[in-house]
Structures are given as C-alpha cells and as structure tokens.
Amino acid sequence: MICEMCGKESDIVRTIFLEGAQLKVCKECSRFGESPEGKSSSKKGRGGTAPTRAVVAERLQARERRMRSRDVFQEETVIDLVPDYDKVIRDARMARDLKQDELASRVNEKSSVIAQLENGSMRPSDQLIKKLERELNIKLTERVTLVKPESSKGSRNVLTLGDLIKKEK
Ligand SMILES: [Zn+2]
C-alpha cells in the first residue's frame, strides 16, 4: 500500500481522518490525524508536541502535487528540504552519541529547537540546515524536479506550479 500523505510504500496503512477527509496513511503519518475511534493519535509515540496545522497543510499540499496530472511541459529543478528530515537529524545525532542539548550548543540553538526538528513540528531555516549538515555530515536537502503543466487551461496558474514527478538523487 502507498501512504496517501507522504507517498511512501508501507506494509501497514491506517485510516485516519484529517480536515474531514479520510486518508490511508503509513504509521508515521498517522499521527497527523484522528483515528476512526475519534481519539487523537498524536499523543502516542515519542511524546513530542503535535505538528502544527502548517506542517499538516504542507504535507497535504505535497501529496496533492504528487497526485496531480503528469502532463509534462516544463521542468524546473529546485532544492527542497527532505521530507524525513526529522528522522535524518535524529539518527545522525544518535549515531554520534550526542544529546539534544549537546547538538544544540554546537549549532548555537536551544535544545527545544532540536527537539522540535526531531519530532517534525518545525522546519529548520536555510541557515540551520547548513549548520546541521556540516555538524552531522548529513544531507538535509534534495533536488526536486517540478513540472509546470500547460497553463492555458485555467486562470489558476499559481496553483498549478510544482507538480512533483520525480526526485533526483
Ligand atoms: Zn506516510
């Protein structure tokens, strides 16, 4: 099954309700919505704070981009934050046996910032991305090819920007 939120292949999918829509998502994404029983699943897990609405909206937008038509007319490559940056940062920090506050002081941030990055509730700034990449020797960005479909079909050109079709390694 493919997670309808992040698009990853996942053995186990859960049905959640988000903004009134029913979605089948992977375990990781299930914390963004309400379970069918009506209980919020965001309390489970690592005990971090729930992602903000902005994060959720962003993920939905990413999903929408992936599901949009694939009429290819124009491509544009941009550098974007990797979707699993939270895990990448956490894994790299653990691999170096650093505590959150130790990493925080190395990149001149509060440990709460590191905690928020690692539970996905905050995106790092460009500057912080560079510092973390250097400090942990990781890659937090990826090249993403955006496709602009033919724009003559409608007036909503702004919203048709960025149909995401493939990633380059
Ligand atoms: Zn997912």
Q: Where are the domains of the chain?
A: 83-140
Residue type, 134: R
Closest residue by Cα to residue 165 from 59, 74, 84: 74
Per the CB < 8 A criterion, the answer to whether 160 and 154 are in contact is yes
Specify the pTM. 0.44
Calculate how far, in angstroms, residue 155's C-alpha sits from the geometric centre of ligand 1: 32
Q: Which residue has the tokens 């990149």?
A: 107
pLDDT in tens, 80-115: 899 999 999 999 999 999 999 999 999 999 999 999
Calculate how far, in angstroms, residue 146's C-alpha sits from the geometric centre of ligand 1: 21
pLDDT value at residue 42: 47
Superfamily of segment(s) 83-140: lambda repressor-like DNA-binding domains (1.10.260.40)
Calculate how far, in angstroms, residue 55's C-alpha sits from the geometric centre of ligand 1: 13
Provide, rounded to the nearest whole percent, the portion of the chain with pLDDT above 90: 37
Count CB-CB contacts under 10 A for residue 93: 23
